[in-house]
């Protein structure tokens, strides 16, 4: 498979009519969802990580899970 770079893609994007950019944008979103990168659940997980870390990253939690 040939390696394609972002600049190569950008060069082609600039040649597309505006109505086709929506199709490209939607397709990129679809690809990201397939990889689990752009899904709503993935974004929620990232957003909640900080809050959960405060609850879970404690000496008490470490002790509770130490035997597993």
24 within 8 A of 13, measured Cβ to Cβ: yes
At residue 39, the pLDDT reads: 67
Q: How far apart are the first and last CA of the chain?
A: 44
What is the pTM assigned to this prediction? 0.48
Chain-centroid distance, C-alpha 10 = 20
* Per-position b or e across 26-45, b if 16+ CB within 10 A of its CB: eeeeeeeeeeeeeeeeeeee
11-50, pLDDT tens digit by residue? 999 999 999 999 998 888 888 878 776 667 777 777 888 8
Any residues with CB less than 8 A from the CB of 13 and at least 6 apart, and which? 21, 24
For the chain, domain boundaries:
40-68
- Does residue 1 register a pLDDT over 90? no
């Amino acid at each position: 498979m040939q390696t394609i770079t972002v600049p190569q893609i950008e060069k082609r994007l600039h040649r597309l009519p505006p109505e086709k950019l929506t199709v490209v944008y939607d397709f990129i979103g679809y690809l990201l969802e397939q990889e689990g990168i752009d899904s709503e659940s993935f974004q929620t997980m990232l957003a909640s990580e900080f809050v959960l870390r405060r609850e879970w990253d404690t000496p008490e939690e470490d002790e509770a899970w130490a035997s597993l």
